[in-house]
Amino acid sequence: MGTENEACPIGDKPKAQNKTAKSASSKGVSLFSYFAIVWTASFLCLLLHIYLINSQRYLPQELYDKATPETLTGVVASKPIYTRFSFLAPVDFDKTPATPIFNDQEQAQEQEAGSNPNLDPTVEAANEPPPKFVEKPQDAPMKFIRDIIRCDTKLISQGEVYTRLTAQQAFEYKHEYDRRNSEVFTTTLPKTAILLGIVIICFGACLSCLRGNFFERTSRANMTITIVILHFLMLTLSHHIFMKYLPGSSLHFFTLLPLALFPILSAYLQGIRFGACIAMLLSVITPIMLNDEHSFSLFIYSLVISIIGIFSFHSVTKRNGFLKGGLVIAAVLTLLNAFFIWHLQIDVPMQEWVAFFKDASNPPWFTLQLIIAALVNGFIILVAMFVLPTIFERCFDVITPVALRELAAEDHPLLEQLYTKAPGTHEHAKAVAAMAANAAQAIGANKLLAKVCGLFHDIGKLKEPACFIENIGAGQPNPHDELTPQESAEKIKEHVIYGKQLAKKYGLQRPIMEAIACHHGNDLIAFFYNKALKEAELNNSQPPNIEDFQYKQEQPQRKEVVIVEIADICEAASRAEFINWKSIDLETIKPFVDKLIMAKMQRRQFDHADITLAELSKIADSIANELCIVYHTRAKYSDRKQPDPQTSITTSYIPPQPQQNSNNLRPAP
């Protein structure tokens, strides 16, 4: 036999090359289109984010109504002010002694003279005059210094009256806030758009390396794009709601923001490895989109909570599992908040706890707010994971662990029909499902998916159950005795086609449909092909066309479908091989299983599957062990003689009599 190139005519090679080039070109176009869609969506969300920042008044209304700090002094704050960035502003001299100070009159004079370096941060340090260090007399007017107010500093609380100092700080903050927002379109927007493009390209390259055929499946790629776009929208709208209605520190915002939701959803729908990739992508994108001063802290915050959330939710199949996952999210958020309070040197919680221990009427509101926000975050993710997987399952033709658990219960109408109309096939499917589940667990594949695929892989035999040997009872005629080998092969092949029709009719998801369609691939129906060869030799006729005895389906790609294909042939062949054996052990079964798998490999049935030789070896070991359990040996029962009724002794049952008290007294209670 020649190689594949030798088997093809020379004139067909350019066509194959053109087809390959066309496929590569179309794949490149699809990659570019996916990148363009994601980048465009991220850019539009970024524009929406910037528009909301510039159009909405996130600061207290009194800052917009009052023109000067003097008119703001004495006004009651309508909501608290937390700084979103560090800036230069007046601070109280009493809280920062031995530093350059100025009073209002000196500040006005220096502003007119243009010689106040504290008001002009662009002046180099070498040109600054030496600072004046003075002591504040008790009866002197209030004097301020200019110093850096750090990000997340609370300038004023809701209901608090503006003093001259807090009014000046609030106006300085508003001025810097407006200045930064006015420069967003000229500085921040182009840089952010370029960074987003670079990150998205790198993510697409990583996905192509991780799963080479990822972008060939439209539904899977569309679901990924949808998840990324929804995350963008969630960031934008959450930031708007938080700034407008729930003002607080960055930690409050980080804690309320469900950063782990979409990585958890990705892992739940497409596997833990893919969920980890999405977690990394969204953790990088989130600080870029929000442009927060604590960007690196936000990246760590998002990545840690996403990874822990993935491990908490990715294989949940029961309702209490969702509750546990939500509580884990809340607990981890609380621990992260404790770490970042220490890392960012936020003094408010410690001050509140000190005041609380001195006076119990002053509760530590900052800490309590963070704990409540963590619980709310866990509750949001819990509710979303109840709702979103069902929607994505229907829209993008994927299957969730909960749906797999329901299908594995064996109460599906198709399985009930299989039990009634084709009991032999039903028992075969259950055996295949058990072997496939154990083999999938051995290589780290989806155990539950392998089991469900094994249960449903032969539902197409419902069309003509009597055409399959396992459904032919003792004394019943074999319908293939009256058919030619070609006709028998067509009957056998029809169970795959009819199985796909049933799966579509009953709404079975894509992975199960793949198992039904691909568990034979394009393999040969060897029994009837060999029968046709023998008939051709006896009749001195032309040998049969091998294509008439081959399945016309695609080869399996999922590991779970490969496992079902191997378990299917091993279970069927072992019933024919070992049914009359008296002694079976692992040394007998293991070479038999290896031979069947090797024959599949020689017929190139696993070429399109993402599976390794090491994994195939583990699958063979698992199936061999399972077959040893099925065909275990038992001791022969000896003939038991029935007892002679005339010589047997029968005794009547005499119930025990209660003991009487010798003194005829009632026992003590």
pLDDT value of position 633: 67
Tell me the CATH class for 402-630: mainly alpha
- Owner of token pair 């829209």: 395
> What residue spans in the chain does CATH classification 1.10.3210 cover?
402-630
Tens-place pLDDT, residues 41-50: 888 888 888 8
pLDDT value of position 87: 80
Residues of the chain with pLDDT under 50: 1-29, 96-141, 648-653, 660-669
Q: Specify burial of residue 113 (Cβ count, 10 A radius: 0-12, 13-18, 19+).
A: exposed
pLDDT value of position 22: 43
pLDDT value of position 615: 93
* Helix locations, 11-80, DSSP H: 13-55, 61-65, 69-72
pLDDT value of position 636: 64
Strand-strand pairing, 144-149 and 87-92: antiparallel
- Owner of token pair 């025990």: 656
3-state secondary structure 204-245: HHHHHHHCCCHHHCHHHHHHHHHHHHHHHHHHHHHHHHHHHH
Tens-place pLDDT, residues 217-275: 777 788 888 999 999 999 999 999 998 888 888 888 999 999 999 999 999 988 888 89
Write b or e for each residue in 192-219: b if 16 or more Cβ atoms lie within 10 A of its Cβ, otherwise e.
Answer: bbeebbebbeebbeebeeebeebbeeee
Q: How far apart are the first and last CA of the chain?
A: 97
Q: Would you give the DSSP letter of residue 92?
A: E
pLDDT value of position 396: 86
- Residue 134's SS3 state is coil
Q: Distance of CA 432 to CAs 347, 565, 626, Å?
A: 62, 9, 10
Please give the biggest Cα pair distance in the chain. Answer: 133
Tally Cβ neighbours within 10 Å of residue 121. 10
pLDDT value of position 261: 94
**Cβ-contact 620, 590 below 8 angstroms:** yes
pLDDT value of position 115: 41
Q: Would you give the DSSP letter of residue 271?
A: -
